[in-house]
A and B are shown apart, each in its own frame.
Chain A
Amino acid sequence: MLAGRAGNRRLVTAACAVAQELGLTVGMPVSKAQAMVPDLQVMPHDPAADAASLERLALWVLQRVSPIVAVDPPDGLVIDSTGADHLHGGEEAMLETLIGRLVMSGVTARAAVADTWGAAHALARHVAAPMHVAAPGTAEALLSPLPLAALRLPPATLASLRTLGFVCIGDLLHQPRAPLTRRFGPDLCRRLDQALGHASEPIEPLRPPELVEVRRAFAEPIAAAETIARYIGKLVVQLCAALEERGLGARRLDLLCWRVDAHVQTVRVGLARPQRDPQRLTRLLCEKIETISPGYGIEILSLTAVMVEPLEARQMASSLLEAPAPDLSGLVDVLANRVGARGIYRMAPVASDVPERSVTRIAALSEPVGVGWPDHWPRPARLLPRPEPIETLALLPDHPPASITWRGIRRKVARADGPERVFGEWWKHDAEMIAVRDYFRIEDEAGERYWVFRAGDGEHAETGSHRWFLHGVFG
Chain B
Amino acid sequence: MPVRPFNPALAALREQIAAMEGEGGPAREVLPFGVPDLDRRLPGGGLALGCLHEVAGGGNGAVDGAAASCFAAGIAARLPGQVLWCVTQADLFAPGLEQAGLGPDRVIYVEAGDDVSVLACMEEGLRHGGLGAVVADVARLSMTASRRLHLAAKGSGTTGIALRRWRRQQEAYDFGQPTAAMTRWRISVLPSAPLPVPGLGRARWLIELIRARAGESLDIELEACDGTGHLGHPAALADRPAQAVGA
Q: Which residues on A are within 8 Å of B, measured CB to CB?
A: 326-328, 330-332, 334-335, 338-339, 342-349, 355, 358-359, 364, 368-370, 372-373, 375, 378-385, 414-417, 441, 443, 445-449, 472-475
Contact = CB atoms under 8 A, between A and B. Distances in A.
Contacts of B146: none
B100 to A, nearest CB: 7
Contacts of B89: 385
B172 interface: no
Given A441-B200, A473-B66, 17 more contacts: A328-B108, A330-B128, A331-B125, A343-B111, A345-B111, A355-B93, A355-B95, A375-B95, A381-B97, A382-B64, A382-B65, A385-B91, A415-B198, A449-B192, A472-B93, A475-B67, A475-B71
Contacts of B149: none
Contacts of A383: 91-93, 96
A373 B95 contact: yes
A339 B88 CA distance: 11
Contacts of A373: 94-95, 98, 104
Contacts of B32: none
A167 to B, nearest CB: 50
7 contacts: A345-B109, A372-B104, A379-B96, A416-B200, A441-B200, A472-B96, A475-B71
A348 B108 contact: no
B62 to A, nearest CB: 12
Given A343-B111, A382-B66, A475-B71, A368 B105 contact: yes
B69 A344 contact: no
Contacts of A343: 110-112
Interface residues of B, number: 57
A44 B187 CA distance: 76
Contacts of B108: 328, 332, 344-346, 364
A381 B70 contact: yes
A473 B67 CA distance: 9
Nearest to A346: B108
A344 B110 contact: yes
Contact of B98 (A370, A372, A445): A372
A338 B112 CA distance: 8
Given A364-B108, A372-B103, A415 B95 contact: no
Interface in B208-236: 224, 227
A347 B94 contact: yes
A343 B73 CA distance: 20
Contact of B73 (A364, A368, A381, A449): A381
Contact of B190 (A335, A385, A417, A447): A447
A450 B82 CA distance: 29
B92 A381 contact: yes
Contacts of A441: 200
A372 B117 CA distance: 30
B196 interface: no
A347 B109 contact: yes
Nearest to A445: B191
B92 to A, nearest CB: 6
Given A328-B108, A372-B104, A378-B99, A415 B69 contact: no
A373 B97 CA distance: 10
A89 to B, nearest CB: 14
B21 to A, nearest CB: 28
